[in-house]
Copies of this chain bind each other. A is one copy, B any other.
Amino acid sequence: MTRLSLNQWTTRHWSVAEAVDGCARHGVPAIGLWREKVAEHGLAATAKLVRDAGLRVSSLCRGGFLTGDTWPRDNREAIDEAAELGAACLVMVVGGLPGVTPGGPPGPRASRDLAGARRRVAEALAALVPYAAERGVRLALEPLHPMYCADRAVLSTLKQALDLAEPYPAERVGVVVDTFHVWWDPEAPAQIARAGDRIASYQVCDQIHPLPADALLGRGIMGDGVIGFGPLTEAVRDAGYTGDVEVEIFNADVWAADPDEVLATVRARFDSLVRPALG
């Protein structure tokens, strides 16, 4: 049985219903849901749909953006949704420097206090963990590639994510290992080993080279970029991770293609480049 999970942003133009149907047709047993898509279909209806289809919800994307001002309500809602969906984890993209809009220019009040932003993340996490724990939701801290440090995540390495998670039980606060975000990191193998049962999600996609004009869209299907999947996947395996492996791709060409063809390619590349190293 494959451990492939479709993160639904890979087939961005599919609704929740279309993505669930696509997973069934392609033999994909798990799905990573996005809150916007879930809201369009309805929360209770989505929960029923994936349950009836026998799909695992490998993650809900996403909570976070803890460095701004609206995080308490946003994240409580996200946690409630993750609980109702039975998601294995809520992915947390922690947010960038206060006042720096994702993808946009820094506003006049943009902060350059990186250490301060990182402290805010730790404080917000401390406030959210009990709320998530009461609802049985596991928060999954996702370190993002350093090129997104200013606007999307001041959490930049797996080591930093593990340090942040350390005060909490592993079943309450885990980490996401995403090949795109960590492949360059000389410490990645050692930190994956350290993570052990903190690994809440393993996400695979490639890094396109050169990066496109919008660096956010530099993710590609495995084999289309510069990442070697063997060593990272073996490290995740050796750390004891037995969960689903999500493929999450932000890429204008992928989004413009027929989602069925995309999913077929994803499945084939997963089988040739990732699955052998999963053991």
Residues of A whose CB lies within 8 Å of any CB of B are 97, 100, 103-106, 110, 112-115, 118, 145-147, 149-151, 156-157, 159-160, 183-187, 207, 209-213, 215, 225-228, 231
Contact = CB atoms under 8 A, between A and B. Distances in A.
A228 B114 contact: yes
B209 A186 contact: no
A226 B112 contact: yes
A100 B156 contact: no
Contacts of A187: 157, 159
A185 to B, nearest CB: 7
A147 B215 contact: yes
Contacts of A113: 228
Given A115-B231, A211-B215, A184 B225 contact: no
B156 A186 contact: yes
28 contacts: A97-B226, A100-B226, A103-B210, A105-B209, A105-B210, A106-B226, A110-B226, A112-B226, A114-B183, A114-B228, A118-B186, A145-B146, A146-B185, A147-B147, A147-B211, A147-B215, A149-B183, A150-B207, A150-B226, A156-B184, A156-B185, A156-B186, A159-B186, A160-B186, A210-B215, A211-B215, A212-B213, A215-B215
Nearest to A155: B186
Nearest to A224: B106
A102 B185 CA distance: 19
Nearest to A229: B112
B151 A184 contact: no
Contacts of A112: 226-228
Given A106-B226, A209-B151, A226-B97, A157 B186 contact: yes
